[in-house]
Amino acid sequence: MFINLFQSSRLPKVAVGLSGGVDSALTAHLLKEQGYAVTGVYLQCWDEPGCSADQGHKDALKVALDLKIPFKVLDFSKEYKTKVIDYFFKEYQAGRTPNPDVLCNRDIKFGLFYEWAMKKKFNFVATGHYAKIILSEDLYQLAIPHDEHKDQTYFLYLMKGKQLPHILFPLSDLTKTQVRDEAKKRQIHVAQKKDSVGVCFIGDVDVSKMLKEKLGEKTGEVVDATGQVIGEHRGLWFYTIGQRSGFTINPTTLVKKSDGSEIDRQNLPPFYVIDKLVDKNQLVVGFGPQTMKDAFAVDSLHWINLPPATNKLKVRIRHTGELTGCHLKMMNKKSSAQIELDQPAQGLAAGQSAVFYQEQGNEMVCLGGGVIVK
């Protein structure tokens, strides 16, 4: 579907990904005000029962109609299932914790959508991401935006340096509060719409329910760090490293501390998932120091531009997680590295992303990242 309401060929052309939310809506408004020839593009990727796609489509269309800009719908449902959803289930079944938003950005938003826009001779692609693109010494780089709490660079680390000159993030210098305020000033109808959470393009769905419907349940043993059976789980794919609920612990089981002494059965500490033994269908749990790691490995390394010139970097192991100093040691395989943390961290889950940053002047630049492995 293409609604050609208004377009001037003399202005720089930008394709704005309209999701139906306030961030992308204000993005379109700001760019039109700045003199761009804006086309709103809605990406249709998921239309299963329970998702918010229908309302998102309607809200995106209304934004375009109010702005009197062209509106286009691109159907990537088939590609989204193959590239994101199939990967999602495959990773969970293998005992890892996937990061679908990272692949969604690489393969859909800055993959298929970006490629479509370039073929259609758009000058730029724009989204409502909270991220910043800077130009430093003739090199375009991805950097943390003004609103550090909303920073989405963690999910964008698979972008390519050659794409950055053609991408706009108009919200880079705004906080979320300012975005809503600016949307109210312009009477944008989604100014107070609740933020989308959950899986990319699907929204706030019950992941546990999705996994149960697709993979079922497979009960197994919960063991402590010594291998002693102390409880039961309902299927390894329902758990991630660092999780502290959803499994059962038998309070009568003898559990020992690291020094060999027994724990008071009446005052068991909170147990966290620290490993998953897929071949044995065992969930390993621990507490205290057992939950912390000061080193881990990454694979599938990707650098947005060139590899860093120094091994002393900062790393983030989860979205909005703390930036921790680290030492990166490249392995013989160029796509693999060993990471030594300046301070121990909890919740290092295989399958999740480790994203690397470096301070450059007043900016914190996102260099790239990799997938955490054991």
**Is 104 designated active site?**
yes
d(CA 299, CA 88): 18
Q: How wide is the angle at C-alpha 369 spanned by C-alphas 363 and 372, nearest 5°? A: 135
Question: 80 vs 101, 136, 295, CA distance in Å?
Answer: 11, 34, 34
Residue 235: predicted pLDDT: 97
156: helix, strand or coil = helix
Is the pTM above the cut of 0.75? Answer: yes
Q: What domains does the chain contain, in order, with CATH numbers?
A: 2-128+170-207 (3.40.50.620), 217-286 (2.30.30.280)
Residue 149: predicted pLDDT: 94
- Count of all residues that appear for the chain in the document: 374
Other C-beta atoms lying within 10 Å of the C-beta of residue 198: 15
Task: Classify residue 183 by its DSSP letter.
Answer: H
Residue 2: predicted pLDDT: 36
Within 13 A of 226's CA, how many CA atoms are on the CB side? 12
Active-site entry in 45, 51, 104, 326 = 104
> Which residues, in sequence order, are bridge partners of residue 284?
223, 275
> Which residues, in sequence order, are bridge partners of residue 74?
43
Nearest by Cα to 107 from 126, 89, 80, 78: 80
Query: Structure tokens of 232?
Result: 């039961």
Residue 374: predicted pLDDT: 76
Backbone angles phi, psi at 255, to 5 degrees: -115, 135
Active-site entry in 51, 200, 326, 366 = 200
Task: Classify residue 222 by its DSSP letter.
Answer: E
d(CA 190, CA 65): 14
Mean pLDDT by runs of 10 across the 374 residues of the chain is 45 96 97 97 78 81 97 95 93 93 95 98 98 93 96 97 98 97 97 78 72 94 92 96 91 64 69 96 93 96 94 94 94 90 95 96 96 91
Residue 45: predicted pLDDT: 87
Residue 201: predicted pLDDT: 53
CB neighbour list of residue 338: distance below 8 Å, 6 or more residues apart: 295, 296, 297, 328, 329, 331
The rounded Cα 195 to chain-centroid distance in angstroms is 15
**Is 200 designated active site?**
yes
Residue 5: predicted pLDDT: 39
